[in-house]
Amino acid sequence: MEDITSTGDFGANEFKLVMTLVSDYCDGLHYGDVPKLRAIFHPDAFLKAPGLRRSLEQWLDAVAIRPVPDQQGRSYNFKLLSIEIIKDQAMVKLECPLFDHCYLDFLGLLKENGRWLIHNKMYTDLQEDHS
């Protein structure tokens, strides 16, 4: 990952914790690691794209049966565009090239009970026209 921009009121430790979660997210996508992904999402998280809404379980089921990018020899080209952390909430913006798509993901994180989790994921395919 590259091109990090960060703003907000946070300490180095919080930034490190969020970065670890982001790394786990990218690894989970690239290696098709459903347990790793499940561990970083809040159970009631919803994933939203234009015209598509899925529960966490629906999305994880889809990840479990899709091809695995690593096994297909796909490059690990995730790009962190920004992280903003303010107190116990964070917004992460990532470019996620997967298969023949280039997704832009916005991950909404909350820190509850001392742990950062993804509570919301909004995404779109930059290569498709959604108008």
Element housing 39 (H / E): helix 34-40
> Is residue 1 one of the residues assigned to a domain?
no
What is the band of 1 on the pLDDT scale with cuts at 50, 70, 90? very low
Q: Does residue 95 have a pLDDT over 90?
A: yes
Say if CB 83 and CB 98 are below 8 A apart. Answer: no
> Is residue 77 one of the residues assigned to a domain?
yes
Query: How far apart are alpha carbons 56 and 35 in whole angstroms?
Result: 12
Write down the pLDDT at residue 131: 53
Rounded to two decimals, the pTM is 0.87
Q: What are the start-end ranges of the H helices in 42-105?
A: 56-65
CA 47 to chain CA centroid, Å, is 10
The whole domain housing 97 covers 6-125
Residue 42 Cα distances to 90, 101, 107, angstroms: 14, 25, 12
Residue 129 Cα distances to 6, 50, 52, 60, 126, angstroms: 29, 10, 15, 25, 8
Write down the pLDDT at residue 10: 54
Q: What is the CATH number of the domain that holds 21?
A: 3.10.450.50
For 66, which DSSP code?
A: S
Q: What is the number of domains present in the chain? A: 1
